[in-house]
Structure 1
């Protein structure tokens, strides 16, 4: 009985064994973006894909646009929101009181405190 690996002679990440298995990459195009700090970056996109209007600059993290003369301004950082802030956006105080009363009634019923 032979011992060893079933794919002997190859390594992880190696390319195709025969050249006929190799294929051409998909057609691509290069889109250049500029940020407000003057950084430029080239992004490779599929030839038929629409380019997004902005891209995050990998150097400074600001938004970058396709117009070198008029790049987008610095983005406004949104403040940190707590879970309670998100809940208050979705529910009114009356909704919160009703949900709390319902939960307390269910808890008291389970404990037999009615």
Structure 2
């Protein structure tokens, strides 16, 4: 091989490798979380960090809790609603008929006049 590179296999600007040059790692602890699908995830936290009650499962995305027997329920997602669906929630069929009749009457008067 012509023109070999002396730093082959390392990044340019990479510092020394090894814990002795980087300093000691902070003490850590692993906490288990279980999702509704039974997946276990074990993220590690610093010993002095506040441990969250829920952690998202990296496999399925559902929230995971620390109680294996009672994991948190999956969040309820609302399906997409059209504008008409929202209008039908606010108005009854009788209201709709009355509004339609009023609009048709205005159109008829405008055509006659």
State the TM-score bracket (shorter-chain normalisation): 0.5 to 0.7
- Greater fraction strand: 1
**Structure 1 unmatched runs, 5+:** 1-7, 81-114
* Partner SS, residue 52 of structure 1: coil
Larger Rg: 2
1:38 aligns with 2:38: yes
Query: Paired residues, what number?
Result: 74
Instruction: Using the TM superposition, give the Cα deviation of residue 21 of structure 1 relative to its aligned residue in structure 2, in angstroms.
Output: 2.1
Instruction: Using the TM superposition, give the Cα deviation of residue 34 of structure 1 relative to its aligned residue in structure 2, in angstroms.
Output: 0.2
Cα deviation code 1:77-101 (max 9, x no counterpart)? 2567xxxxxxxxxxxxxxxxxxxxx
* Partner SS, residue 21 of structure 1: helix
TM-score by length of structure 1 reads: 0.54
TM-score by length of structure 2 reads: 0.54
Instruction: Using the TM superposition, give the Cα deviation of residue 22 of structure 1 relative to its aligned residue in structure 2, in angstroms.
Output: 3.2
| Residue in 1 that maps onto 2:77 | 77
RMSD between aligned alpha carbons? Answer: 2.8
2: distance between equivalents of 1:57 and 1:17? Answer: 32
From the superposition, tell whether residues 19 and 37 of structure 1 become closer, same or farther in structure 2 (CA, over 3 Å): closer
1:26 aligns with 2:54: no
